[in-house]
């Protein structure tokens, strides 16, 4: 199920961002570490209560766990560029793994497009290989900014003013 994969990918991101282990999350939520792992892999269906508790633990609104950032960026072209650059440099996956600090098994999954890299991993790959960092389209960024501003408690007029200002600044660039 696509939603479970999105949840898992985002859980992984927020877990790493908060420097939490499976066991730490399991202890906080009263689950087993194996169950947390299955949620992150997208093979378990967490209850609504578990999802609410996860969002509170990660200190993000619940819907952040379901934002599909993967559809905002063309990862296939990026991974193709990574593979091409590796061939040009005559680098193995092991070499790339060492230079980026990304675990070799995770690197294998990324290269074979079984999982999508985190933003930190994308940045590391792009920097090491001299590739442009793929970006989220402007309309997606503005939509996300709008949701964040709503979460901060701003009213519609304030949000509209900020969005209009951001659009104006983006046109100048």
Which CATH code is given to the segment(s) 72-129? 1.10.260
115-142: pLDDT as tens digits: 778 778 888 999 999 988 776 667 777 8
| Residue ranges covered by each domain of the chain | 2-67, 72-129, 138-172
Residue 14's nearest CA partner among 134, 153, 119 is 119
- What pLDDT sits at residue 173? 58
Judge whether 2-67 and 72-129 match in fold.
yes
pLDDT of residue 85: 94
- In 130-151, which positions are buried (b, 16+ CB within 10 angstroms) versus exposed (e)? eeeebeeeeebebeeebeebee
Q: Which residues of the chain have pLDDT under 70?
A: 1, 68-74, 135-137, 173
Longest dimension (CA), the chain: 55
What's residue 10's pLDDT?
84
Phi, psi at residue 116, to the nearest 5°?
-100, 140
Fold of the domain spanning 2-67: 434 Repressor (Amino-terminal Domain) (1.10.260)
CA distance 126 to 103: 16
What per-residue confidence (pLDDT) applies to 88?
95
| pLDDT at residue 73, rounded to an integer | 54
Give the Cα separation of 85 and 108 in Å (integer): 16
CA distance 110 to 121: 10
């Amino acid at each position: 199920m696509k939603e479970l994969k999105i949840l898992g990918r985002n859980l992984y991101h927020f877990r790493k961002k908060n420097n939490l282990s499976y066991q730490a999350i399991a202890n906080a939520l009263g689950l087993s570490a194996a169950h947390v792992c299955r949620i992150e892999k997208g093979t378990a269906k967490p209850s609504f209560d578990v999802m609410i508790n996860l969002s509170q633990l990660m200190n993000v609104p619940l819907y952040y766990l379901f934002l599909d950032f993967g559809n905002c960026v063309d990862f296939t072209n990026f991974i193709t560029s990574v593979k091409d650059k590796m061939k040009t440099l005559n680098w193995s996956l092991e070499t790339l793994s060492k230079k980026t600090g990304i675990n070799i098994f995770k690197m294998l999954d990324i290269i074979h497009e079984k999982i999508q890299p985190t933003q930190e991993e994308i940045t590391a790959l792009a920097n090491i290989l001299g590739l442009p960092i793929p970006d989220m389209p402007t309309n997606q960024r503005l939509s996300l900014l709008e949701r964040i501003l709503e979460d901060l408690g701003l009213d519609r007029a304030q949000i509209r003013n900020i969005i209009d200002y951001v659009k104006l600044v983006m046109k100048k660039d």
